[in-house]
């Protein structure tokens, strides 16, 4: 059985490996790209040597000037490009270092939290044994249970009154004359019509016996409102009583542990959430820098494209083609040596270019796989699957399946589907007596609020808030939607 933290840790480790592999590949492509540019410049020099050998001085000077101008402009653009790449690389290095330090901080906090959670879990049964004979706790437990039953009954009555109001009110609401007078407030102090209108409204009221109907309809509509307010009051009382019970559970745990270990765990959880937010922001910045550097490594940045254009325009000039044909036609070994140098340089350029194309394809694949893995890690955190209570029954999530995801054999969606099927919730060892329905437990262990006066803040206590540790009360879509229902129990 895997814990959520073990699983996320394996994913993070695999993600870091992919990031390193992607960065190393990017650096290799960048070096190869610079090599191609250098070879192209050297090829330009060879063409100038050939021009000087084969052409008369005037033509050679003209060609040499044109080539030198293109080469100088290309060199200037590449020098600026190199400086830009250095700035981006240094910025990325700093952010990667910052992320590494932040991840180390997170690992330390997570270990501290896990140790505290394990200690609290080991003390749960001792706390239960103490509370089993605690008169104050048992009396409060009875009050909380009675308040919960009352709130449940009030919610059901409120739902029933809403249903009655819909069914019985239909006859009134379908009567257009009745609704006309009702909406005008006829028969109430709000009615302000005078003269003929008032007389005609009075005649209609007598005709349909509005005054009797109005009293019945007013009663029909007011009952659900009163019942709903009553149900909310009962819900508040039930939440208050359960809160008091949770405080007693946490106080017992504090006595047993010698410290407010629940508040300590919640504080560590808050710190981890804060660090996760910083990591997410850093990851976004790192992704942006990697995208920019990927443009450099693929040669698709503006600086490289302009430099390449300057060089290729000169190297592909018709005059150079003519020089090439003339050189091959002459018996002189000097110009043949230059032609051979040009051919060798061209072959090396093609070899580097082929490697670059292959590496770019691999880089795109790694980037896609890294994105899939990063998305899985984000979903783990957003679902709270790195908490103490999360376990997974499928051990392959950190071995075979993770390896398949890293290699790209399966998608992030495939991996996530397996993780969801394997998801389990770990229960604290105790909870028979203390922390009923998880009330008062730390958030990471299934709880939902921190005790007042014990390092935390009190939950609102309203039904529907989803408080009290996944237990407590939650609205089933309003009083008309089936009343209240309890959450997961321990």
Q: 366 burial class (0-12, 13-18, 19+ CB within 10 angstroms)?
A: buried
Handedness of CA 268, 274, 278, 283 (dihedral sign): positive
- The answer to whether 219 and 236 are in contact (CB under 8 A) is no
The one-character DSSP state at 145 is: H
pLDDT at res. 57: 40
Sign of the alpha-carbon torsion through 436, 442, 443, 444: negative
The CA distance from 176 to 83, in Å, is: 80
**In this structure, what DSSP letter does residue 475 have?**
E
Give DSSP secondary structure letters for 72-115: HHHHHHHHHHHHHHHHHHHHHHHHHHHHHHHHHHHHHHHHHHHH
Separation between Cα atoms, residue 441 and residue 473, nearest integer Å: 16
DSSP code at position 465: S
Residue 262 Cα distances to 399, 445, 447, angstroms:
33, 10, 10
pLDDT in tens, the chain (490 residues): 888 888 988 998 898 898 888 888 888 888 888 888 788 778 777 776 766 565 444 444 555 555 566 666 766 777 777 788 788 888 988 998 998 899 899 889 989 999 999 999 999 999 999 999 999 999 999 999 999 999 999 999 999 888 888 888 888 888 888 888 888 888 888 888 888 888 887 887 888 888 888 888 887 888 888 899 999 999 999 999 999 999 999 999 999 999 999 999 999 999 998 998 898 899 889 888 888 887 766 566 666 666 666 555 555 554 556 655 665 666 667 776 877 787 788 888 888 888 888 888 888 888 889 889 989 998 988 888 888 888 898 889 989 999 999 998 899 999 999 999 999 888 888 777 888 888 888 888 887 544 333 333 333 333 333 333 333 333 333 333 333 333 333 3
Beta strand ranges found along 1-134 (DSSP E): 2-3
Six token digits for residue 410: 């399966």
d(CA 302, CA 415): 38
The pLDDT score that the predictor gives to residue 188 is 82
Domain ranges of the chain: 2-133+259-445
Which segments of 185-209 does DSSP mark as H helices, in order? 195-208
Sole residue written with tokens 């017992």: 252
C-alpha 36: how far from chain center: 41
pTM over 0.75: no
pLDDT number for residue 70: 65
Q: 391 pairs with which residues across the strands?
A: 3, 424
> What is the C-alpha to C-alpha distance for residues 18 and 6, in angstroms, rounded to an integer?
19
E strand intervals along 199-274: none
The H or E element containing residue 302 is helix 302-315
Contact present, 314 and 40 (Cβ < 8 Å) = no
Q: Which residue has the tokens 């870091």?
A: 16
What pLDDT does 460 receive? Answer: 36
């Amino acid at each position: 059985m895997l814990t959520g933290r073990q699983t996320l840790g394996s994913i993070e480790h695999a993600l870091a490996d992919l990031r390193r592999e992607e960065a190393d590949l990017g650096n290799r492509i960048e070096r190869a790209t610079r090599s191609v540019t250098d070879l192209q410049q050297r090829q330009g020099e060879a063409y100038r040597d050939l021009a000087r050998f084969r052409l008369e001085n005037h033509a050679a000077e003209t060609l040499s000037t044109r080539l030198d101008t293109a080469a100088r402009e290309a060199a200037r653009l590449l020098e600026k490009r190199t400086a830009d790449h250095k700035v981006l690389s240094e910025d990325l290095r700093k952010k990667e270092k910052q992320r590494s330090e932040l991840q180390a901080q997170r690992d330390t906090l997570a270990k501290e939290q896990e140790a505290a959670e394990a200690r609290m879990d080991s003390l749960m049964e001792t706390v239960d044994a103490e509370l089993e004979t605690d008169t104050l706790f048992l009396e409060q437990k009875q009050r909380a249970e009675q308040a919960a039953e009352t709130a449940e009954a009030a919610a059901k009555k409120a739902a029933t009154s809403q249903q009655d109001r819909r069914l019985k009110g239909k006859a009134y609401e379908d009567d257009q004359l009745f609704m006309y007078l009702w909406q005008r407030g006829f028969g109430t102090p709000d009615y302000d019509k005078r003269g003929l209108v008032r007389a005609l409204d009075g005649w209609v009221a007598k005709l349909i016996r509005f005054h009797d109907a109005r009293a019945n309809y007013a009663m029909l509509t007011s009952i659900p409102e009163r019942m709903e307010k009553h149900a909310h009051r009962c819900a508040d009382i039930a939440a208050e009583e359960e809160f008091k019970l949770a405080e007693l559970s946490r106080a017992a745990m504090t006595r047993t542990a010698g410290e407010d270990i629940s508040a300590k765990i919640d504080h560590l959880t808050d710190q981890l959430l804060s660090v996760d937010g910083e990591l997410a922001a850093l990851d976004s910045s790192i992704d942006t820098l990697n995208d920019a550097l990927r443009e450099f490594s693929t040669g698709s940045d503006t600086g490289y494209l302009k430099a390449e254009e300057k060089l290729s325009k000169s190297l592909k000039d018709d005059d150079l083609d003519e020089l090439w044909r003339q050189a091959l036609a002459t018996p002189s070994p000097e110009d043949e040596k230059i032609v051979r140098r040009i051919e060798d340089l061209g072959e090396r350029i093609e070899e580097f270019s082929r490697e670059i194309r292959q590496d770019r394809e691999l880089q795109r694949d790694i980037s896609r796989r890294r994105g899939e893995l990063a998305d899985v890690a984000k979903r783990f955190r957003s679902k709270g699957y790195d908490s103490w209570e999360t376990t997974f029954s499928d051990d392959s999530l950190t071995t075979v399946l993770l390896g398949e995801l890293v290699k790209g054999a399966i998608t992030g969606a495939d991996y996530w589907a397996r993780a969801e099927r394997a998801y389990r919730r770990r229960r604290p060892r105790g909870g028979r007596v203390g922390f009923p329905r998880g009330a008062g437990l730390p958030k990471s262990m299934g709880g939902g609020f921190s005790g007042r006066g014990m390092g935390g803040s009190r939950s609102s206590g309203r039904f529907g808030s989803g408080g009290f540790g996944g237990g407590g009360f939650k609205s089933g879509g309003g009083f008309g939607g089936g009343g209240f229902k309890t959450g997961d129990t321990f």
